[in-house]
Amino acid sequence: MDADLRRRLRQADLLTALRILQAVDVARHRRDDFTATIQPVQEGSRMSNWLLDAEERFAGVRAMADELIRRLGELGPGETLEFNAADLDAQYEAELGGLDALEALYAVQFLGLANVARGESEVGGVFYLRRGEQRRYGKAAYRPLEVHYGERARRLHVIRHILSHEKEEDRIDLFRWYFTISLEQFCKRFLPNPEAATSPQIPEFRERILGGLSETQLKVVTDDESRAILVLAGPGSGKTRTIVHRVANLVALRDVNPERVLVLAYNRTAVAEVRERLAALIGASGIHVDVLTFHGLARKLTGLTEKNAPAGMQGDDRFNWLIQQAVDHLRDNPAPYQYVLVDEYQDIKGAEYDLVTLLASFDREGAPTGEEEDDREQPGYLVAVGDDDQNLYAFMGAKIEFIQRFRDDYDITDEKVVALLPNYRSRPRIVQAANAFIEASLPARARLKGPDQRVYSVRDGEGQVYIGKYQQRYHAALGIAQRAAQLIAQGTPAEEIAILARNWDHLNEVQHALHEAGVAYQMYNVHDQLRPANSYVGGAVRDVLTEEPELAVENARETLERIRQQLSLSDQDRGWQAILSATADLHNTIQGALALRINSAKPLARRGVVLSTFHSAKGSEFDHVFILSEGMREHGRTPPEDETRALYVALTRARESVTLLRREGDCHPTLLQPGYQHALKDIGVEVMSLPTGTPLPSEIRYQLFPDPSDLYISAPDVLFPAGREAVLRYARNWDSLQLRNLQLRSPHGAVGRLSRNGRIMLKLKHALERGQVTATGATVLRCERDDEWYTRAGYTGLETHHYVVLPQFEVIALLEG
């Protein structure tokens, strides 16, 4: 441990001591960056009571932890225990004297017995517990907790000893010693009974946060002087890990108020991941850290939602408006956060960029003009983590310039740009192939990483890179299906195999081939709108549950089925099946928890080989990755930067092997460059031969998932009473769904029709003409009011929403090139 770190840790100790003094009403302290003022409060403080409390508290935590451990023991591996905090408090209040549930959660987390994650619901904070690694809960398991509480208690003993001296000079002298020598030394030297001081403090905790990090990661995690740090992180270099550990360091080791810390992530999945990992690292104390999406932050700051946008705005404009409201809000109000961490900084857009700038209090135009010194805004500390090579959303305004401008914006030296280069994900050959690809595709000026800043693999072995070429996409699909089946037969989980393409419809042939080979697959696009909670049956059942959130539920499935039958809704809805499987493990809970589980249920069971676009694969990783490169003109001399970065993202998703297949005639131009091909040869890639001799079928079969914009419901169909009744009748009596003349018909009448403007029309054109589109399932989906849509349909009702029957199609289509 270097001297600097040691000095900082003493500061943390000081702050702990000050907090204790304040907590027991002995002294008050005011704190700014450099000084702390201590004021005595009064004689006869509650110090001794507090010590007694501390002992009781430990006994209480132990009792409650016992109970949690008992319930955890009943869980199977991977199962989750779910409850709300108020419920837990109420349950244990009587026996444990008002013990704070958070403390007990912290305890089981701290002991490594469980992973605690936090969620929000209508019924308040809800916690999810999952069994930790540790299986046996012997006496030894409690030792770290005892050490922790023992350390806190020792500090109290020391302070009480100091305060017991009558003369002020003595007290000052002892305080000086307290801050000069270690706690252990102090106890030995001054305490009448130093036995209590034999235990160390809590090295396990510090080790968990700071140990196991690379030197560079540690630098970012522990730097609390730099106002702005840009972390240029390569793929698989531990971006999120660095962010999570920095937050943990701030909150758990540096005593920063968690409410002053903000983590911005790019979507809900990323938010959930940061929250989970933070909870796993520091437990309950991480709960007060804000981990939000940009829109979540905008909602929190302004109290508005995109629905407050002026009438006439729709879709994207509403969301942009919301971000802009937050920017305006921050111009007039001080930033509520002091430590801001931004993930995936390369993909932030203009308004989001402004938001970050204001949050970090770096806005030069609107420099604070506080009349009083005390009102001066505290300085912000910004850490932005991103990789310009992985910029995927330039077409939406996420320009690479924002990350390039970082240095100028924040007036920082080059040293403050930290490069995280080791790749912990991919085997060496994969990293080398990806490096060679991006270096051959982009000129040095288009990249922030210099020639001496190459990503390198720290994994052992070599890994495999295969290349291949095809004329017919069908042949590539056949080859991939064969290899996937082979890998699965050899024991690779299907979910660890991904097939990635530029566009969704490039994967149609792959769907067909996988189906023929009997390999299960999943489409990786999760339309938020398709959430089971958004289905008519799911929403209706959830609403019944939340009417009495505290009501006990013995068997989740029975309760759900009972409510569904009372509402006389069909069980054939796609969403309903998903809800049943998402709640299958819930027993002996309350209705509120069940409702929450419905809210977070995923559309489909995530099983089988993953089919995804390059874009949707952002942030994911797989053992084996197959890539289709097509859809570009070859004779373009300089490859388009967007497409290069997208393909680079695809290449770097792979851990063990990557197979890069190019279509002759329109693959990414770099793949044809002699220089690049030589580089691949040096790396040791193998050529994958595809079954190009196989005769082509005349038709292929694949699944197609429309979204609500593909459906056009004309006035009599849905918006007016007859149509609404037809849809709701369908939700009760579920029969086959047929598509005739673009009209979606149930035996009870028309329930919708395909939109002529929807994107699906184009894709289905030929299949529709030949009548080879069949509905294989459907969900009755809630659609929020969309004024543009209503106007087009000639409707002016006041409802906030309506329902549509959203089918899932199987298409038999002519084979494309």
Partner DNA sequence: TATAAGATTCTTTTT
Partner DNA sequence: GAATCTTATA
3-class secondary-structure state, position 367: coil
Q: Which one of 194, 296, 749, 777 is in contact with DNA (CB under 7 A)?
A: 296
Q: How far is the CB of 524 from DNA (least distance, A)?
A: 8
Of 235, 266, 295, the C-alpha closest to 650 is: 235
Residue 615 engages DNA in binding (rule: CB under 7 A): yes
Among 97-105, 263-271, 480-488, 577-585, which window interacts with DNA (CB under 7 A)? 263-271
Question: What track of x and - describes contact with DNA for positions 303 through 322 (by CB under 7 A)?
Answer: --xx--------xx--x---
3-class secondary-structure state, position 494: helix
Q: Which one of 741, 762, 769, 796 is in contact with DNA (CB under 7 A)?
A: 762
User: Which residue type occupies 315?
Assistant: G
Q: Between the CA of residue 590 and those of 126, 546, 586, what are the distances in Å?
A: 12, 10, 10
Tell me the number of residues near DNA by CB under 7 A. 41
Q: How far is the CB of 541 from DNA (least distance, A)?
A: 20
Residue 238 labelled as part of a binding site = yes
Of 726, 727, 753, the C-alpha closest to 739 is: 753
User: Which residue type occupies 455?
Assistant: V
Residue 785 engages DNA in binding (rule: CB under 7 A): no
> Can you tell me the distance from the alpha carbon of 579 to that of 565, in angstroms, rounded to the nearest whole number?
15
Give whichever of 621 and 666 is closer to DNA, judged by the CB atom: 666
Alpha helices in 587-737 (DSSP H): 591-600, 641-651, 674-683, 721-732
Residue written as tokens 């990090």? Answer: 213
Question: What track of x and - describes contact with DNA for positions 396 through 415 (by CB under 7 A)?
Answer: x-------------------
| Residues 139-198 within binding reach of DNA (CB under 7 A) | none
Residue 784 engages DNA in binding (rule: CB under 7 A): yes
Residue 503 engages DNA in binding (rule: CB under 7 A): yes
Q: How far is the CB of 240 from DNA (least distance, A)?
A: 15
Q: How far is the CB of 465 from DNA (least distance, A)?
A: 24
Residue 692 labelled as part of a binding site = no
> Can you tell me the distance from the alpha carbon of 211 to that of 566, in angstroms, rounded to the nearest whole number?
56
What's the angle, vertex CA 608, arms to CA 603 and CA 612, rounded to 5?
A: 70
Among 15-23, 211-219, 682-690, 759-767, which window interacts with DNA (CB under 7 A)? 759-767
3-class secondary-structure state, position 285: helix
Find how far residue 284's CA is from the centre of its chain: 18
Strand order, beta sheet including 738-740: 738-740, 743-746, 749-753
Residue 240 labelled as part of a binding site = yes
| Residues 664-693 within binding reach of DNA (CB under 7 A) | 666
> Can you tell me the distance from the alpha carbon of 599 to that of 36, in angstroms, rounded to the nearest whole number?
46
| Residues 86-105 within binding reach of DNA (CB under 7 A) | none
Residue 748: Cβ-neighbour burial (10 angstroms; 0-12, 13-18, 19+): middle
Among 167-175, 626-634, 656-664, 795-803, which window interacts with DNA (CB under 7 A)? 626-634
Largest interatomic CA distance in the chain:
99
Among 108-116, 278-286, 498-506, 539-547, which window interacts with DNA (CB under 7 A)? 498-506
Q: How far is the CB of 525 from DNA (least distance, A)?
A: 6
| Residues 636-655 within binding reach of DNA (CB under 7 A) | 636, 640, 642
> Can you tell me the distance from the alpha carbon of 307 to that of 313, in angstroms, rounded to the nearest whole number?
10
| Residues 520-559 within binding reach of DNA (CB under 7 A) | 525-526, 528-529
Of 195, 100, 202, the C-alpha closest to 157 is: 195
Give whichever of 105 and 340 is closer to DNA, judged by the CB atom: 340
First to last CA, the chain: 62
Q: How far is the CB of 321 from DNA (least distance, A)?
A: 10
Residue 568 labelled as part of a binding site = no
Q: Which one of 16, 293, 572, 677 is in contact with DNA (CB under 7 A)?
A: 293
Q: How far is the CB of 269 from DNA (least distance, A)?
A: 6
Give whichever of 307 and 562 is closer to DNA, judged by the CB atom: 307
Strand partners, 340: 262, 382
> Can you tell me the distance from the alpha carbon of 420 to that of 389, in angstroms, rounded to the nearest whole number?
13
Give whichever of 80 and 293 is closer to DNA, judged by the CB atom: 293
> Can you tell me the distance from the alpha carbon of 791 to that of 326, in angstroms, rounded to the nearest whole number?
29
Write out the residues near DNA by the rule CB under 7 A: 266-269, 293-296, 299, 305-306, 315-316, 319, 393, 395-396, 502-505, 525-526, 528-529, 612-613, 615-616, 631-633, 636, 640, 642, 666, 757, 759, 762-763, 784
List the binding residues.
Answer: 233-240
List the binding residues for ATP.
Answer: 233-240
